[in-house]
């Protein structure tokens, strides 16, 4: 994209990100006010207020402000999807991906599942009912401007709320650690001790043990115990020793040392079949699959369509009572139904990487959200119905205006090795 066009696009995106942020804050206030009405449905706006603030408002605020003050280069810390500093990078590995998989599996670690609707529900059920889930997914953390390539974990006591886990990132070609040391992989290992609420957003999340060095050493010990041929080199004082907090608000501390595990040849020493590499396939596949936020926007559009169908008889009765004319009823119904159809069309065109469609989608959603927020909120059950419609518009705007949706429509290369390598080295 030419520089001038990119600057215009940046300005447009910034405007809609700001509009989305204002609408989310506005919606949270409306939900809080609605919760003051004492009735059997009061708990709905209370839950809605919590969900909007914890999962929409605060994360978007963090995204905006962390882009201003958090360094966008390697400082030995990962970042959360909201831009907050995450877990420390406390391990490095040498070897091929097959070597890493062989070493970790020989040490009794399980490859974590990807985050999907099915795996998320399975994770929740495992936590609530204390069921074992050895491949439970881990949340995404960012390094080198991308999520982890894969993660491994070990359950403790058959309970997914307690587990050892470690995320791995393939380093970009030619990239060196501070000090000029070359490695193939870096990793962040921590121990989940329980489930709780994030200090920074209020979201339900795992709480980690503050002693990240103990988990780091545990990972190294399990790998070297299973395969004594695995080598080890430690960079003393890789970073200063520090106390801090991760993206969930949990305390962390480290002595600043960085173990480098030499897993070269682990795949050949493995008695079983060679592990199948997963990160390259995942990197290629993600260029074929739209980001989760954009897919979620499609689900919200579908819910908005269902809401429209359910409310259509009510709209007919209201228009007929106030205007009486049949043609007025037809016009009103056609206008009412046109919005979900327009949203569906623009969403499909956004999936097809049409930039103009995404821009028009954000304009339409912004007008819809602002006009809906300006309307007088009725009482009773209709209050919930109306606020639900506003929430659908605001959440859709939040998803479509996000950086992941923009990256999707801006991607012009065809999926392939070149596109993957460009992404990995960014």
Judgement on whether residues 153 and 227 belong to the same structural domain of the protein: yes
Spatial contact of 41 and 381, defined as CB atoms under 8 Å apart = yes
How high is the pLDDT of residue 159?
Answer: 67
Judgement on whether residues 227 and 333 belong to the same structural domain of the protein: no
Spatial contact of 136 and 123, defined as CB atoms under 8 Å apart = yes
Asked if residue 416 belongs to a domain, the reply is no
Asked if residue 283 belongs to a domain, the reply is no
Judgement on whether residues 48 and 111 belong to the same structural domain of the protein: no
Domain boundary among 218, 249, 276: 276
Judgement on whether residues 152 and 229 belong to the same structural domain of the protein: yes
Exposure string of 143-170, with b = 16+ CB inside 10 Å and e = fewer, is bbebbbbbbbbbbeeebbbbbbbbbbbb
- Distance from C-alpha of 112 to C-alpha of 104, rounded to nearest angstrom: 12
Domain boundary among 227, 249, 276: 276
Structure tokens that stand for 75 in this block: 């400082």
E-strand stretches of 97-255: 110-111, 142-143, 146-147, 150-156, 159-170, 185-197, 204-208, 231-235, 242-245, 251-254
Judgement on whether residues 79 and 62 belong to the same structural domain of the protein: no
Q: Which of 412, 410, 422, 413 is nearest to 8 (CA)?
A: 410
- Distance from C-alpha of 277 to C-alpha of 163, rounded to nearest angstrom: 24
Neighbours of 310 (CB within 10 A): 10
- Distance from C-alpha of 329 to C-alpha of 344, rounded to nearest angstrom: 23
Looking up tokens 């953390």, which residue turns up? Answer: 141
Domain that holds residue 182: 75-276
Exposure string of 19-42, with b = 16+ CB inside 10 Å and e = fewer, is bbbebbbbbbebbbebbeeeeeee
Asked if residue 423 belongs to a domain, the reply is no
Judgement on whether residues 258 and 385 belong to the same structural domain of the protein: no
Asked if residue 415 belongs to a domain, the reply is no
DSSP assignment letter at 323: T
Q: Which of 293, 306, 287, 237 is nearest to 415 (CA)?
A: 287
Judgement on whether residues 299 and 390 belong to the same structural domain of the protein: yes
Exposure string of 390-426, with b = 16+ CB inside 10 Å and e = fewer, is bbbbbbbbbbbbbeebbebbeeeeeeeeebbeebbee
pTM: 0.68
Neighbours of 218 (CB within 10 A): 15
CA distances 345 to 135, 185, 290, 327, 391, Å, are 38, 42, 16, 26, 20
β-pair partners for 169 = 186
CA distances 42 to 45, 135, 375, 383, Å, are 6, 38, 20, 10
Using DSSP's 3-state secondary structure scheme, residue 247 falls into: coil
Asked if residue 249 belongs to a domain, the reply is yes
Asked if residue 385 belongs to a domain, the reply is yes
- Distance from C-alpha of 144 to C-alpha of 358, rounded to nearest angstrom: 27
Asked if residue 94 belongs to a domain, the reply is yes
Q: How far is CA 296 from the centre of its chain?
A: 11
Judgement on whether residues 230 and 346 belong to the same structural domain of the protein: no
Asked if residue 52 belongs to a domain, the reply is yes
Judgement on whether residues 217 and 102 belong to the same structural domain of the protein: yes
Spatial contact of 405 and 293, defined as CB atoms under 8 Å apart = yes
- Distance from C-alpha of 137 to C-alpha of 192, rounded to nearest angstrom: 13
One digit per residue, the tens of pLDDT, for the chain of length 426 reads: 555 655 666 777 778 888 888 888 888 887 777 666 655 555 666 676 677 777 777 777 777 777 777 887 888 899 887 778 889 999 999 999 999 999 999 999 999 888 776 777 777 777 677 778 888 888 888 899 888 999 999 988 776 678 899 999 999 999 998 888 899 999 999 998 877 777 766 677 778 888 999 999 999 999 999 999 999 999 998 887 777 777 777 788 899 899 999 999 998 888 766 655 555 444 434 445 677 678 878 888 888 888 777 777 776 777 667 666 667 667 767 777 787 888 899 999 998 889 899 999 999 989 888 887 887 655 555 566 677 777 888 888 888 887 778 878 876 544 433 333 333 333
For the chain, what is the domain count?
Answer: 2
- Residues 6 or more apart in contact with residue 251 via CB below 8 angstroms: 210, 243, 244, 245
Judgement on whether residues 272 and 295 belong to the same structural domain of the protein: no
Domain boundary among 276, 305, 327: 276
β-pair partners for 156 = 159
Judgement on whether residues 253 and 293 belong to the same structural domain of the protein: no
Judgement on whether residues 213 and 302 belong to the same structural domain of the protein: no
Residue 313 CB burial class (10 angstroms; 0-12, 13-18, ≥19): exposed
CA distances 424 to 36, 215, 360, 420, Å, are 50, 27, 31, 6
Structure tokens that stand for 203 in this block: 């979201």
């Amino acid at each position: 994209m030419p520089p001038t066009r990119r600057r215009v696009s940046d300005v447009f995106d910034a405007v809609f990100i700001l509009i989305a942020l204002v609408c989310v804050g506005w919606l949270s206030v409306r939900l809080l006010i609605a919760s003051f009405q004492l009735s059997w449905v009061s708990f709905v706006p209370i839950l809605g207020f919590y969900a909007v603030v914890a999962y929409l408002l605060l994360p978007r605020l963090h995204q905006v402000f962390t882009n201003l003050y958090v360094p966008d280069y390697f400082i030995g810390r990962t970042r959360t999807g909201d831009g907050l500093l995450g877990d420390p990078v406390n391990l490095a590995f040498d070897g091929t991906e097959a070597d890493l998989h062989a070493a970790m599996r020989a040490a009794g670690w399980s490859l974590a599942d990807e985050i999907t609707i099915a795996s998320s529900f399975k994770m929740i059920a495992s936590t609530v009912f204390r069921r074992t889930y050895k491949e439970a997914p881990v949340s995404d953390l960012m390094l080198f401007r991308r999520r982890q390539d894969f993660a491994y974990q070990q359950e403790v006591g058959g309970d997914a709320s307690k587990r050892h886990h470690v995320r791995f990132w393939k380093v970009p070609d030619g990239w060196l650690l501070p000090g000029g040391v070359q490695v193939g992989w870096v990793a962040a290992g921590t121990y989940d001790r329980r489930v709780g609420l994030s200090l920074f957003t209020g979201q339900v999340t795992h709480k980690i043990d503050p002693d990240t060095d103990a988990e780091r050493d545990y990972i190294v010990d399990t790998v070297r115990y299973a395969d004594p041929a695995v080598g080890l080199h430690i960079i003393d004082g890789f970073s200063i020793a520090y106390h801090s907090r991760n993206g969930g608000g949990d305390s962390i501390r480290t002595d600043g040392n960085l173990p480098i595990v030499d897993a070269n040849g682990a795949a050949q020493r493995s008695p079983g079949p060679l592990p199948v590499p997963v990160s390259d396939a995942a990197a290629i596949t993600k260029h074929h699959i739209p980001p989760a936020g954009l897919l979620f926007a499609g689900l919200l559009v579908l819910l908005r369509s269902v809401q429209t169908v359910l409310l259509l008889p009510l709209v007919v009765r209201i228009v007929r009572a106030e205007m009486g004319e049949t043609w007025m009823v037809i016009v009103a119904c056609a206008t009412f139904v046109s919005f979900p159809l327009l949203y569906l069309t623009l969403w499909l065109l956004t999936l097809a990487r049409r930039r103009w469609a995404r821009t028009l989608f954000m304009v339409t959603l912004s007008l819809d959200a602002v006009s809906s927020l300006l309307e007088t909120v009725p009482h009773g059950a209709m209050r919930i119905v109306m606020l639900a419609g506003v929430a659908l518009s605001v959440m859709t705007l939040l998803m479509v205006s996000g950086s992941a949706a923009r990256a999707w429509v801006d991607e012009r290369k065809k999926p392939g090795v070149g596109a993957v390598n460009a992404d990995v080295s960014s």
